[in-house]
Structure 1
Amino acid sequence: MGLLSDFAIDVEDLEFLEAILADACNELKISPDHHGFVTRVVDLRSQGHSREEIFRTLRVEFASIADHRQDYAP
């Protein structure tokens, strides 16, 4: 399968990732389209991190983006 085999995700894992992405986007007030966000979530999950560990990491790595946006809110 070549490179496509690197992207094989089972349905349960996909549902888990979707839930984390939705919750993290709401909490951090960041778009899932933000550069590197989805990739980082998938990467953390592939490393075996739990939901709580993923959220903790995302808060640290992406919270400054959310804070920056609030500083410039109209």
Structure 2
Amino acid sequence: MGLFSDFAIDVDDLELLQAIITDACCALKISPDHQGLVARVVDLHSQGLARKEILEGLRVEFGKSLADGIGRTAVDD
């Protein structure tokens, strides 16, 4: 389970979360190990957001921090 082991996640949601993380990593050109990425995906999913909404939110949060070149995320603030 790796990165998912710290979260209580319904097994049915694992495939969806993995797909969202993969899509986000491809779109943002970051590793799934990027600080805060997995936690943020799980958090947004637990809020009931759809896949498209999660990806848009990640682009805003992580894209801005990556563009700034400071390597921090909104999760760090």
- TM > 0.5: yes
Q: 5+ unaligned residues in a row in structure 2: which ranges? A: 1-5, 70-77
Residue 15 of structure 1: SS of its match in structure 2? Answer: helix
Residue 60 of structure 2: SS of its match in structure 1? Answer: helix
TM-score, structure 1 normalization: 0.75
Higher helix fraction: Structure 1 or Structure 2? 1
In the comparison of the two structures, how many residue pairs are matched?
A: 64
TM-score, structure 2 normalization: 0.73
Q: Which residue is equivalent to 2:48? A: 48
Distance 1:66 1:39 in 2: 21
Q: Which amino acid aligns with 1:18?
A: Q
Stretches (4+) displaced over 4 A: none
Percentage identity across aligned positions?
67
**Structure 1 stretch 6-15 or stretch 24-33: which is displaced more?**
6-15
Residue 58 of structure 1: SS of its match in structure 2? Answer: helix
Q: Which residue is equivalent to 2:22? A: 22
Q: Which residue is equivalent to 1:12? A: 12
RMSD: 2.0
